[in-house]
Amino acid sequence: MRHQNFQIWQQPNDGGDGFKRGATFTPRAALAGTCGCNTGTCSSYESIDWPGYYVRHQNFSFSIAKPDGGASYNQDASFCTAPPADGSAAGTGGGTGLPAANGQWTQIGATASRVSIGADGTLVTLNADARTAWRYVGDNNWTQLPGAFTDIAVIGATSMYGIGTDTNVYRFDGQNWTMVGTNAKSIAAADGTVLVTNGNNDIWLKAADDNTNAWRQLPGKALRVAVMNRNSLWHVGIDNGVYRGDQGGNWIAVGNDAAEIATSPDGSVVVTNTASKLMWRRTGDNAAGNWTLVDPNFKANALTVPNAQRAIVVGADRNIYRW
């Protein structure tokens, strides 16, 4: 499906840039908050070439439209995943070849320290011993990328960021790594937005998703960072509190006792507890909401969450598991 003249149409892919942009949408936290359908966390879908315009159904047809601030629009523009109407078990696993979530932890890799997944499904891990980067190619197989890193953040196959063993920040364009920053300790990226902490735990925001070395400092200090979207930044503070903020650095406390943090574009936030390493989850791109325990029997060293129904984690045994 693509949008054209603000209407949504089902059309064959002609290979052109216009079609590709018209058929690409960024998942956001649901404008309605919840759809009430009980099949999963809801999402709204923003056009990439018409920022601020979302897919909406109205009078049994679909279009992209700008929010009018009303509850009816918010409901019309909020959707959630449901089982296939034909009863099949089909699901989406993203560009990595990951199968659909099956409600249990399944090992897909080993000897890992960090893991990150992009919006296009590109999944990358770092080897816990050699620090080498590996990309998931399907069927529990991985292919090595050049370089050695202490942290990794994936936007997509042609844009990922790593903190080298020299503490410099590097950007990968699908072919080569280019140095774009220095003195970094933790990194996160999504929706074209890159956030790091440096050796002093200061928080820095990259000006653009490109090969330039241009950053500006945000208020506060952090141990770990996460990016839900360009307007929703998260971090674990040096007090182990969980904070949500924006590009102005306006932070609001939303949790405590956290060590690791990961967010998804559809509004899911998962953290690990500092002492137990158990995972806690909340939904909603806001400062409200309660945290719920993910699994009382599963501990994680690192994690990434592509959406509210899935999680990919490095377990306490250093193996990689998907949910």
Q: How far is CA 8 from CA 22, 51, 56, 184, 264, in A?
A: 9, 16, 9, 43, 25
Give phi and psi for 94, each to the nearest 5.
Answer: 85, 180
Please say whether the beta carbons of 53 and 64 come within 8 A.
yes
Section 241-256 average pLDDT: 96
Instruction: Report the alpha-carbon angle 33-255-41, nearest 5.
Output: 25
Q: What is the pLDDT of residues 288-313, one digit of tens each?
A: 778 999 999 999 999 999 988 889 99
Q: What is the pLDDT of residues 13-67, one digit of tens each?
A: 888 888 888 999 988 888 887 555 544 557 889 999 899 999 999 887 899 999 9
Give phi and psi for 74, each to the nearest 5.
Answer: -60, -40
Exposed/middle/buried for 88, CB within 10 Å: 0-12, 13-18, 19+? exposed
pLDDT at 60: 78
Question: How far apart are alpha carbons 88 and 316 in whole angstroms?
Answer: 34
Which position has the higher pLDDT, 301 or 10?
301
Question: How far apart are alpha carbons 105 and 298 in whole angstroms?
Answer: 9
Q: What is the pLDDT of residues 269-292, one digit of tens each?
A: 999 999 999 999 998 888 777 899
Question: Is the pLDDT assigned to residue 170 strictly greater than 90?
Answer: yes
Please list the residues that pair with 146 across neighbouring strands. Answer: none
**Domains delineated in the chain:** 2-80 (2.80.10.50), 106-322 (2.120.10.30)
